[in-house]
Amino acid sequence: MKVAHFRFYAELNDFLPPSRRFVAFRESFEVRGSVKDMIESLGVPHTEVDLILANGESVDFSYLVQEGDRISVYPVFESIDITPVLRVRPRPLRQTRFVLDIHLGRLANYLRMLGFDALYRNDYRDEELARLSCEQERILLTRDRNLLKRRAVQHGYCLRETRPRRQLLEVLARFDLSGSMGAFTRCLRCNGLLEAVAKEQIADRLPPQTREHYQEFHQCASCGRVYWKGSHYQRMRQFIESLG
Ligand SMILES: [Zn+2]
């Protein structure tokens, strides 16, 4: 049996049993394996990892762990300055777009409400989610660690919170999004973009009360759904203000 020493930093410790959190620990192994496989076997999805040091040198996921190695593993967006050393993925996704697993419908709705590109369907299968994340460079949001361990997934995030409103706050904080919200620019039903539309063009589709009281309308460029600033809008405003 060979032994390597591992130390995980910051929120990566969420994935470890208590005795292994925030300390260096020994891990025995028989066959030399890639550092990616060893990190995942310890419970941490590779999508959470941004930097790996082996004996102080940055290495990529394919690095083969050796007897006696000291491996330090850092999360995405760790605040210490790691720019001079190599990160395991080419670059963070600056155009923040998401694809969400089938359990996160409410969160998808909230993200769309704030204008974020959030792909969601309640019938996506795991391999579709992984493929969409890869092909469209979307951050895969899920609470399922195994989903994030799929090879195709480059950018993902494992939500810690279980309640949708808290999940939204978690995502906004994690990806530093509070400055890039564009509330009421996206369709809640299909994720399409909204554009202003003249009342005459859609008047025949409005309930009589709405036709009488509202003048300003937006329409989804993808599915055609019409939006106006009715009571639903006021409730969403309140919700957004409550996020602080
Ligand atoms: Zn739509």
Question: What are φ and ψ of residue 11, in 5° steps?
Answer: -70, -10
pLDDT tens figures, 20-67: 999 999 999 988 789 999 999 999 999 888 889 999 888 999 999 999
Return the structure tokens found at 57.
């040198």
Residues lining ion ligand 1 (Cβ < 5 A) are: 187, 189-190, 192, 220, 222-223, 225
CA of residue 23 to ligand 1 center, whole Å: 49
Long-range contacts of range 202-208, CB-CB < 8 Å, 24 or more positions apart? 202/226
Q: What angle do CA 108, 41, 123 make, to 5 degrees?
A: 25
pLDDT tens figures, 127-179: 999 999 999 989 999 999 999 988 888 888 999 999 999 999 999 888 878 77
CA of residue 186 to ligand 1 center, whole Å: 8
CA of residue 141 to ligand 1 center, whole Å: 21
What does the pLDDT read at residue 81?
A: 43
CA of residue 143 to ligand 1 center, whole Å: 26
CA of residue 156 to ligand 1 center, whole Å: 25
CA of residue 226 to ligand 1 center, whole Å: 9
Quick check: 225 and 190 in contact, CB under 8 A? yes
